[in-house]
């Protein structure tokens, strides 16, 4: 989705699913000013034991803007991303990223798994990806997808 599509998130989905009313209520209760955090949506997915992608689609259908990406990629105020400083990344972290990347991309889920496995924060993994010029996509919630060639 482009910035011009903001506020029309449901348009990403070709068909409107019959989503569980508990899911829709759980998301609605966490929306503030038309926005909901990445962490809140992942918490709902975990609590209801459903895939994050389904929760993200439900948020889209409710036209809720997802913000405060846990990898620091979008929705962090005026600058959109969390500012990062140049830092060195560990060889272990670099190897883990390179082992899982394909065509210059690595998924959000793989970044989360690397963070857990290596003991780094999700943000550290994201910063390492940026330093290595590796794009993170797709998002587990469906907020952004790998661009097609």
- CA 74 remoteness from chain centre: 8
Which band of pLDDT confidence, cut at 50, 70 and 90, is reported for residue 1? very low
DSSP 5-73: GTT-GGGG-SS-----HHHHHHHHHH-BTTEEEHHHHHHHHHHHT--HHHHHHHHHHTTPEEES-TTS-
Give mean pLDDT, residues 125-144.
92
Q: What is the pLDDT, as a whole number, of residue 85?
A: 57
CA 124 – CA 145 distance, rounded (Å): 21
Give the angle subtended at the CA of 74 by the CAs of 136 and 68, to the nearest 5°. 115
pLDDT in tens, 45-97: 999 999 999 999 999 999 999 999 999 888 666 665 665 655 667 889 999 99
Return d(Cα 126, Cα 148) in angstroms, integer. Answer: 21
Mean of pLDDT values over 3-19? 61
State the average pLDDT over residues 14-39.
87
pLDDT at 2: 43
Q: What is the pLDDT of residue 20?
A: 82
The answer to whether 121 and 115 have CB atoms below 8 angstroms apart is yes
Structure confidence at residue 90 (pLDDT):
85
Question: Which of 11-15, 73-77, 125-129 has the least mean pLDDT?
Answer: 11-15
Residue from 110, 123, 117 nearest 76 by CA: 123
Mean pLDDT for the stretch of residues 6-21: 67
Q: 6: pLDDT confidence band, cut at 50, 70 and 90?
A: low
Tokens of 31: 């929306």
């Amino acid at each position: 989705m482009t910035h011009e599509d903001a506020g029309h998130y449901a348009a990403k989905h070709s068909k409107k699913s019959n989503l569980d009313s508990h899911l829709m209520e759980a998301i609605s209760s966490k929306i503030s000013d038309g926005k909901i955090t990445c962490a809140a949506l992942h918490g709902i997915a975990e609590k209801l034991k459903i895939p994050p992608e389904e929760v993200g689609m439900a948020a889209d259908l409710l036209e809720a803007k997802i913000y405060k990406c846990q990898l620091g990629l979008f929705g962090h105020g005026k600058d959109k991303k969390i500012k990062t400083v140049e830092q060195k990344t560990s060889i272990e972290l670099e190897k883990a990223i390179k082992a899982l990347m394909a065509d210059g991309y690595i998924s959000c889920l793989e970044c989360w798994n690397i963070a857990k496995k290596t003991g780094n924060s999700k943000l550290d993994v994201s910063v390492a990806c940026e330093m290595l010029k590796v794009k993170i996509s797709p998002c587990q919630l469906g907020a952004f997808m790998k661009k097609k060639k």
